[in-house]
């Protein structure tokens, strides 16, 4: 699974909580493992707080990439450690001017037609947190989520469009942001299956640490220069 595919899965999870604020927003570090159609696992480290997130992905081959999201500024910063540079791109939201349309991302054109999110039993304890299972069906696909209300809201899964291949877009059905607005909803495991019941992707939390995060974690490291495409083209 490529980094682009992994980012696509992260976007798919973004429909879970929407851009609305939950009663308590989780601040701290979350470790996740993601697998896709290739069955090759990649690890992700989320450092997340109310208005910012830092995501470090590590491929099965050991390659890493770092993204920093600033939701107030609507920017995504891509770090390039080998060059000691960084690239800033707009973090466009579905439906925003210049951004992708909700329909192009696999969302239902009519919010009222969004598929239902059904709570199913039994509950399961994951990493010491009681998690309820939720299931929804859309476009012949089934998505299963085990989520806890004991950690607040994982805001990094509810912001913006990070892009990704069409195969991963819309992997989670639209409309969940409205269904879960105002609730503490922290996904600990997400499994997507096709119409035949074959698993398409899986994302699981492997560790959670609630902690106060320093501001310097959400800006490029000292000594990094901004990559300017216009200057590069001028040469």
pLDDT tens figures, 109-132: 444 455 577 888 789 999 999 999
The pLDDT value given to residue 141: 87
> Mean pLDDT, the chain, as a whole number?
73
Q: How confident is the model at residue 79 (pLDDT cuts 50, 70, 90)?
A: very high
Record the pTM.
0.72
pLDDT tens figures, 16-48: 333 333 346 889 999 999 888 666 778 889 898
Q: SS in 3 state form for the chain?
A: CCHHHHHHHHHHHCCCCCCCCCCCECCEEEEEEEECCCCCCEEEEEEEECCEEEEEEECCCCCEEEEEEECCCCEEEEEEHHHCEEEEEECCCCCCCCCCCCHHHCCCCCHHHCCCCEEEEEEEEECCEEEEEEEEEECCEEEEEEEECCCCECHHHCCCCCCCCCCCCCCCCCCHHHHCCCCCCEEEEEEEECCCCCEEEEEEEEEEEECCCCHHHHCCCCCCEECCHHHHHHC
Domain count within the chain? 1
Residue 3 pLDDT > 50, yes or no?
no
The domain in which residue 35 lies consists of 3-234
Contact 36, 201 (CB under 8 A): yes
The residue length of the chain stands at: 235
119: exposed, middle or buried (Cβ count in 10 Å: 0-12, 13-18, 19+)? exposed
The pLDDT value given to residue 98: 43
Q: How confident is the model at residue 105 (pLDDT cuts 50, 70, 90)?
A: very low
Token pair listed for 68: 């920093």
User: Domain with 77 in it: what CATH number?
Assistant: 2.50.20.10
* Dihedral sign for Cα atoms in the order 154, 169, 9, 113: positive
């Amino acid at each position: 699974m490529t980094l682009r595919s992994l980012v696509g899965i992260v976007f798919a999870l973004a429909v879970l909580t929407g851009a609305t604020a939950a009663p308590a927003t989780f601040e701290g570090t979350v470790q996740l493992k993601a697998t896709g159609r290739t069955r090759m696992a990649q690890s992700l480290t989320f450092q997340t707080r109310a208005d910012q997130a830092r995501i470090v992905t590590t491929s099965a081959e050991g390659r890493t990439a770092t993204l920093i999201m600033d939701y107030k500024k609507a920017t995504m910063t891509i770090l390039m450690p080998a060059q000691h540079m960084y690239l800033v791109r707009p973090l466009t939201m579905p439906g925003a001017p210049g951004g992708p349309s909700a329909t192009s991302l696999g969302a239902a054109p009519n919010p009222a037609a969004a598929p239902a999110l059904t709570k199913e039993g039994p509950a399961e304890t994951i990493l010491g947190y009681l998690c309820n299972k939720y299931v929804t069906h859309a476009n012949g696909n089934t998505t299963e989520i085990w989520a806890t209300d004991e950690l607040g809201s994982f805001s990094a899964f509810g912001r913006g469009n990070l892009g990704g291949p069409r195969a991963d877009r819309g992997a989670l059905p639209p409309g969940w942001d409205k269904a879960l607005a105002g609730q503490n909803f922290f996904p600990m495991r997400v499994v997507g299956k096709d119409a035949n019941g074959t698993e398409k992707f899986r994302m699981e939390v492997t560790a959670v640490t609630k902690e106060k995060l320093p501001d310097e974690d959400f800006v490029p490291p000292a000594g990094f220069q901004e990559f300017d495409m216009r200057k590069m083209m001028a040469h």
